[in-house]
């Protein structure tokens, strides 16, 4: 079995499939890998296999000539989903499949393709096992998903160097972001963006409305003109609680933005403060300094990609527990607003 190759040098590779189905954060991180792959294969046809919920992210992306999107969420339809996926991938006649998902399902599906007679010449993954014939050696644990995927690309001779997420923002979303900025009087570097939520099932990852409000008020007293809150449907109540404790200088955009409005809204900001949430990965496509507050999740695994991103975490024996319930939530309680403010002064904010 072949484990290393110089794939970009092979002119027989004309059509490539990338597989990435994960949650939004992992998909956004993978956009840096998408950029590496697109640069390595500038004249080849590249298709992306992702989840329907992420099609919006790539509908205007020139790196991809086609998007496959089988919805895997309904377990009752699993056989039908698998049949649909196999039919679509067979029709693609791919010369190279790059599996950036590398879980039991993607390995099973690629193995079924092979057993059914679909001979995809190169099958790249991050593990040395069937069905992959290109893969790296063992990596230390825990390893960030990006490190595993970069090692896989390098085993295929694909340079993996893009330092942060790369999203292609449609002009429509840039215009929407400009309209928000003008309407609310947000001048360059005069405001911060807070991403205070996360999905409801992961509520322990939230720093808390009271703490965000205390930090916002302190920053405003020190000269920061505005704080902008951004979030989705699960986070409306959290953002309202923050807004109720602040003045008219706080701009609550929770529930008003489209997903691709967020990077251009973050670009002119002074800095970003965020929980471990998919939206933070999206905001990391901007070069704006970001602080991510981690408690029950491991920053080595969940921190957004980019040298502009730092993680702050309490020093406790129980950090990185990944629990869904907790009687004390000390990991977040110990990250007091003064402590976060001190970190921001070192990385992104100078007192006026």
Q: 24: domain CATH number? A: 3.40.50.2000
Domain that holds residue 319: 171-347
Q: How far apart are CA 68 and CA 118, in angstroms?
A: 18
Q: How far apart are CA 189 and CA 172, in angstroms?
A: 23
Out of 74-83, 115-124, 218-227, give the one with best mean pLDDT.
218-227
183 and 112 in a common domain: no
143 and 247 in a common domain: no
Q: How far apart are CA 161 and CA 299, in angstroms?
A: 21
Quote the pLDDT of residue 119. 85
Given 103, 120, 155, the domain boundary residue is 155
**Mean predicted lDDT score pLDDT of the chain:** 93
DSSP structure class, residue 123: E
- b/e map 265-280, b = 16+ CB within 10 Å: bbbbbbbbbbbbbbbb
**CB atoms inside a 10 Å sphere around CB 228:** 23
1 part of a folded domain: no
- Whether omega before 150 lies within 30 degrees of 0, making that bond cis, reads no
Q: What is the CA radius of gyration of the chain?
A: 22
pTM above 0.75, yes or no: yes
23 part of a folded domain: yes
Mean pLDDT of 114-121: 88
Q: How far apart are CA 211 and CA 215, in angstroms?
A: 6
106 and 179 in a common domain: no
3-class DSSP state of 103:
coil
The tokens of 59 are what? 């509908």
327 and 253 in a common domain: yes
Q: How far apart are CA 51 and CA 101, in angstroms?
A: 12
Given 95, 126, 155, the domain boundary residue is 155
- Whether omega before 170 lies within 30 degrees of 0, making that bond cis, reads no
Quote the pLDDT of residue 1. 67
Number of structural domains found in the chain: 2
Residue among 324, 327, 328 nearest 297 (CA): 324
Q: Which helix (H) or strand (E) holds 257?
A: none
2 part of a folded domain: no
Q: How far apart are CA 282 and CA 173, in angstroms?
A: 14
13 and 93 in a common domain: yes
160 part of a folded domain: no
* Total residue length of the chain: 352
110 and 190 in a common domain: no
Reply yes or no on whether the pLDDT at 350 is more than 80: no
Comparing 327 with 164, which gets the higher pLDDT?
164
3-class DSSP state of 6:
coil
Mean pLDDT of 264-278: 96
Reply yes or no on whether the pLDDT at 351 is more than 70: no
163 part of a folded domain: no
Reply yes or no on whether the pLDDT at 135 is more than 70: yes
Quote the pLDDT of residue 352. 45
264 and 194 in a common domain: yes
């Amino acid at each position: 079995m072949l484990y290393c190759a110089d794939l970009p040098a092979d002119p027989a590779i004309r059509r490539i499939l990338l597989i990435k189905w994960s949650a939004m954060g992992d998909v956004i991180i993978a956009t840096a890998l998408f950029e590496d792959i697109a640069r390595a294969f500038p004249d080849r046809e590249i298709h992306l296999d992702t989840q329907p919920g992420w099609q919006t992210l790539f509908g205007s992306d020139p790196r991809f000539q086609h998007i496959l999107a089988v919805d895997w969420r309904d377990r009752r339809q699993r056989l039908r989903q698998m049949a649909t996926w196999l039919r679509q991938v067979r029709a693609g006649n791919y010369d190279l499949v790059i599996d950036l998902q590398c879980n039991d399902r993607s390995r099973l599906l690629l193995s079924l393709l092979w057993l059914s007679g679909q001979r995809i010449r190169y099958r790249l993954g991050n593990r040395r096992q069937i069905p992959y014939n290109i893969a790296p050696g063992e990596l230390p644990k825990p390893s960030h998903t990006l490190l595993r995927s970069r090692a896989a690309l390098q085993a295929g001779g694909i340079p993996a160097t893009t330092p942060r997420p790369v999203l292609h923002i449609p002009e429509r979303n840039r215009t929407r972001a400009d309209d928000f900025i003008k309407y609310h009087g947000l001048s360059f570097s005069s405001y911060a963006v807070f991403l205070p939520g996360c999905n409801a099932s992961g509520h322990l990852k939230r720093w808390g409305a009271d703490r965000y409000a205390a930090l916002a008020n302190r920053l405003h007293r020190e000269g920061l003109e505005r704080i902008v809150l951004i979030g989705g449907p699960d986070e409306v109540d959290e953002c309202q609680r923050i807004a109720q404790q602040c003045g008219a200088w706080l701009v609550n955009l929770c529930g008003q933005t489209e997903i691709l409005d967020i990077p251009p809204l973050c670009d002119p900001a002074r800095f970003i403060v965020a929980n471990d949430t998919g939206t933070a990965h999206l905001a990391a496509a901007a070069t704006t300094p970001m602080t991510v507050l981690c408690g029950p999740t491991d920053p080595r695994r969940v921190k957004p990609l980019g040298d502009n991103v730092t993680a702050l975490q309490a020093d406790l024996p129980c950090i990185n527990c990944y629990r869904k319930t907790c009687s004390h939530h000390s990991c977040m309680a110990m990250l007091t607003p003064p402590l976060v403010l001190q970190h921001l002064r070192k990385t992104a904010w100078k007192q006026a």
